[in-house]
Structure formats: C-alpha cells, structure tokens
Amino acid sequence: MHPSTALACVIVDELVRGGVREAVLAPGSRSAPLAYALEAADRAGRLRLHVRVDERSAAFLALGMARASGRPVPVVTTSGTAVANLHPAVLEAHHSGIPLVVVSADRPAELRGTGANQTTAQPGIFAGALRWEADLPAPASVPPGAAGEWRSTVCRALAAAVGAPPGWAGPVHLNVSFRDPLVPDLADVVGSEGSGVPEGRAGGGPWTLVDRVPAAPAEPVEPGERTVVLLGDLPTPDLAHRATAWAAAAGWPVLAEPFGALPVGESVVPHGVLVAGRVARGAEGLQHLVPERVVVVGRLTLFRELGALSRLPGVRVEQVSAVPAWTDPGHVVERVRPLGALEQPVEPTVGADGWVSAWLEAGRAMTPAVVEAVGLGDGRMTGVGDGQAGEATPTVTGPGVAITVAASLQADDVLVLGSSNGPRDLALVLGAVPVPACRVVANRGLAGIDGTVSTAVGVALAHEAGRAVALMGDLTFLHDANGLLIGPDEPRPDLTIVVVNDDGGGIFSTLEYGEPQRNATPLSAAATERVFGTPHGTDLGALCAAHHVGHTRVTTLAGLRDTLARPTEGLRVVEVPLDRTAHRPLRDRLR
C-alpha cells in the first residue's frame, strides 16, 4: 500500500475510533487519499460522508453538525485557497467553542516557498483561533512506529477539540502532507486494516483514551433582593433551561435573548428587552424596577438595552460564564463564576415574589401594544390576516413573522436563527403568545451572516428528534446560497428555511445610519440606500428552482402559519416579503 494511502486510512480510522460519526469533504487532487478513505468508511457504515464543492459552505456544514451534536466533525479539503476558505467557520467555532476539526491536505513541506502549484504555508494559517494544531509530514514509507505517531496525533486533535483534559472546546487543525502517488493500488482495499495499514488498538477503541476531568464545584451566587438575570447565548438548551429554573427559584426576573432555547419560565419577563430599555432610560413609573445587581448568564450579543441596564450607576454586575473568556465589553463585571454556579441553589430573600411580580407586570402591560404594532391582531395565532376578499389584512412585520415561526414549533424541534433582524425581532415580541422551550441555534460567536444556510443544513442533519426550521433575512440567505447546493447522492436534510425578504439590509434602517435627520435630502437618502440598504432584486424562487429546492411565497401571517403547519420532507424555502421602510417606525413605536 502506498504511504499516502496508508496515512489517510489511519487518520480516518482513528477519527471514527475517537467518536466521529459525520465528516464533510470538499474534494481536490491533493486530498484524494483522504477522499478514498472517507468514501470507504461511509460505504462500510462507519461514518456518514457529506460532499460539497464549496469549502466555505462545507466548513459551516460541519460546524452546524458539530454544534447540534456536540461531537467533533471534520471538514477535509485540498491545499491552497481551499484551506483559506475555511477561516470564517474556524473563527466562529473559536468564539463559540464548537469542536470543528480541520483536516487539510498539503504538498510535501520541501515544496513550500518554491512556487509549486497550490502550495502555501498552511501551518499557522488559523493562528490565534485554534485549540491545537499539528503538521504531519509526507511519509516516503510506512515506518515501524507509524501507528503510534499518526494515531496519537489524531487523538490529540479530538481531545483538544472537545476540551479534554480541562479546557475550552473549539477548532483544531491537522495539516497532512501527501506524496505521489495519491491513488491507491488497484489491489488495495482502502479503509481496511492490514495490507500495509498500521493497525489500531484491539477492540476498536482509540489509540489514546483521554478522560475528562470534572470541574471543581462552584461557589453559589449570593442572595440579593433586587437582582435581575440577563440571559444570553448558551451552548445547549439544557443550560438555558437550567438558568431560567435557577433564577426562578432564587426569586429573580429573567430578561432573555432568544438563544440556547426559547426563554420560557415563570420568571421570564415578557418583552424583557423593551422593559429593560425603558428602565435604563428612567421611564416614568418604572423607577421601582431599577436593580441593585445584574447577573449575566451566558454571552449577551444583541441588545444595547441590556448593556445599558448593566451600566446604571450603583449596579453591581456579575457573570456566570460558559467559557474562560467572559464577556464584558463595558468593563463593569465584578465577579465571574463558572456554569457550575447554576447547580448551586440560592435562597430567595424576603420580598422576592413582589420583585419578580413587578417585572412581570411591567412586561405584560406592554403585550397589547406589542401585539397591535407587529400585526398579530387580537394576539391569537389563529384567524390572523386570512387575506380573504373584502377583509383587511394586517401588515406583515418582522416580529410578526418571527413569533409566528416560533409558535409553530414543538418542544423537540430546533430553530436556527440567522444574524441581523431575526433574533432581534423574536426577542422583542416574546411573551405575546405561547411558545415552546425548544432548542435555538445561532452563530453568535462572531454574529456574522456568512454560512447560515449551511449551518442550518448541518443542524438539521444532526438533529435526531423533531423538525428543523431556520429563520433568516434575504441577505443572509443570499450570502450562503451555495448551502442549497447539495449533490443528488448526498444526505439531504428535512429543513424549512423561512426567508424574510425586504430586498436588502433592513437592519441598518433601525440603527443610526437610518436616522431621519441623516436621510433628510434625496442625496443623503440615496447614499444610505446604496451603501447600507444594498437592494438586490433577486428572484428567490428562481434561485431555489435552480437548486431543485421547493419554494413558497406567502404574504400573510395566516399563510405563513398554514404553510409551516403542513408536514414536509426535504429542503424547502418559505419567502415572506416585507417593506424595509417600515422597520424603523416599528422599532421606534415598540421602544
């Protein structure tokens, strides 16, 4: 067996022994030995292989599967720019703590710096964003110690990816050089041991088994009468559920961003972000809600209103963090505790019930106005905007779409949120109607719009129970349109993608760039429209048709609700057109 074939077979075999069940391949010539080995493992039922032609899409597909499953997922590429295209997903995995395993094929090291085709300095290309990396040299033969060297290297990569021994999970990079020939001998049985493949441990286990070290018990958070919990992004829905239950038991209201799981609980404040903003601005009648302490659980990434609450004079800020690098852009955090603090009960203080009730009442008082503003009519999810002849159809809004999507889900479903307006819209309207405490996945590490379709496909492929639904804007959808490019022989997800199409970057109209005084003249308005609005006029239906993906266009919330209620298999896109100019007036009205 050729040395390159043997090395590739060992790498794939040890990945499987280490728990890998899904792998993504973006094919190329230099990675051919790995492609043969992966295909053989897939054919043998040892893992499931997903082949993609776009490396960026492939990386986010792997990231989505790793995020949903908690298992390391490798993405395998050839050399050159193929590796550089993985960088956005590597950065997201780094900032989110996702076990993404990059396996890049390379030419022999002596060709670096010689001008050889498709050759660059791949080791170190992801510097600063990795938990671990290694550069395996191209073997000219299969030496006696190859089994230990090659297999233990793979084990180190997998251990670092999942954060064992004690550490933070995240991306790793295994750069593997191969010499010609890159194809196996016709007589070789690729993927099997024997015939020149250095064998692994007897029994099928990994070469090196790494035990996880349990975290030390955390100290409990001290009781406090006027404490508010700000709930941000958390890695799993279990943590989000644990956080809301912990806060309720302590007698503390929860103001939540919609990540980890949809925030549902007896102390979760309806429209909490809106209430927080009014309290932070000193709104009349809400002075009694000013907290003495804020406890941030997870990572806040969405709303300035929550940050403003933390910066009020005299407010003590603490954090319960899922990662060693806690989030504190305002430099106000006084104490950081690990997630184990959520397992330590906090005795509620005298008057805790009244404190929670006051926040809940403030949130509930906003519900009628929110329901009316976002086009939910009487607040029920039935009979809203039927669009029948002679009837008035409520204006479709982003928050209305978001809550309609959320209300259509069941507890075992998963919701994938794109960046930009989608999660903001959902957070503003949460509490208007009942929603399940289902899982919510979003790329909040760097909160970019790139790779969202591919991430959603990956989440759907790895989600073992319930439906998968994604909600995103048109630019997010178009930015990763190659996520729809799935070959006829590849596993296909059961996934519904709801695209809120306002023909451009609607979020900018709600920020300072969309302030009326900055767009008071035709010239300034045209400039803002061009460089921030970025209209595109793309026919999403035609784009979906080109990829053989089902497409439905709905113009009412009732139509959206009915479409989501219909069972479906495979990948489909539901487009909901909106008027981008309505975003800012709606946000101003809600706030």
Q: Is the dihedral of CA 480, 481, 482, 485 positive or negative?
A: positive
CA distance 137 to 119: 14
Homologous superfamily, domain 3-177: Thiamin diphosphate (ThDP)-binding fold, Pyr/PP domains (3.40.50.970)
Burial class for 485, CB neighbours closer than 10 Å (0-12, 13-18, 19+): middle
Q: Report in angstroms the alpha-carbon separations of 323 from 239, 299, 340, 388.
A: 13, 9, 12, 51
Instruction: Identify whether the C-beta of residue 353 lies closer than 8 Å to the C-beta of residue 332.
Output: no
Query: Can 3-177 and 227-365 be said to share one CATH topology?
Result: yes
The reply to whether the predicted model has a pTM over 0.85 is yes
Q: Which residues pair with 496 in a beta bridge?
A: 469, 572
Instruction: Identify whether the C-beta of residue 491 lies closer than 8 Å to the C-beta of residue 551.
Output: no
- Examine the pLDDT at 270 and tell me if it is beyond 90: yes
Model confidence over 174-201: pLDDT tens digits? 999 999 999 998 877 665 555 678 999 9
Closest CA to 131 of 99, 84, 175, 83: 99
**Does an H or E element contain 51, and which?**
strand 48-51
Model confidence over 245-264: pLDDT tens digits? 999 999 999 999 999 999 99
The domain spans of the chain are: 3-177, 227-365, 375-388+395-590
Radius of gyration of the chain (CA): 26
CA distance 168 to 149: 25
Q: Report in angstroms the alpha-carbon separations of 582 from 87, 143, 349, 400, 590.
A: 36, 68, 45, 13, 12
Q: Which amino acid is at 284?
A: E
Closest CA to 9 of 181, 183, 192, 179: 192
Residues 375-388+395-590, CATH architecture:
3-Layer(aba) Sandwich (3.40)
Closest CA to 442 of 419, 422, 463: 419
Query: Does residue 181 have a cis bond before it (omega within 30 degrees)?
Result: yes
Q: What is the predicted pLDDT for the residue at 189?
A: 61
The owner of tokens 């949903």 is 68
Model confidence over 38-76: pLDDT tens digits? 999 999 999 999 999 999 999 999 999 999 999 999 999
Query: φ, ψ for residue 102 (rounded to 5)?
Result: -90, 125
Model confidence over 427-480: pLDDT tens digits? 999 999 999 999 999 999 999 999 999 999 999 999 988 999 999 999 999 999
Q: What is the predicted pLDDT for the residue at 324?
A: 81
Residue ranges of alpha helices (H) inside 146-211 are: 146-162
CATH number listed for the domain at residues 227-365: 3.40.50.1220
CA distance 27 to 11: 17
Instruction: Identify whether the C-beta of residue 360 lies closer than 8 Å to the C-beta of residue 253.
Output: yes
Q: Binning pLDDT at 50, 70 and 90, where does residue 383 land?
A: very low
Mean pLDDT lowest among 396-410, 454-468, 546-560, 576-590 = 576-590
Other Cβ atoms less than 10 A from the Cβ of 39: the count is 16
Cα atoms in the 13 Å half-sphere on the side-chain side of 194: 4
**DSSP tag of 342:** G
CA distance 262 to 234: 11
Q: What is the predicted pLDDT for the residue at 190?
A: 60
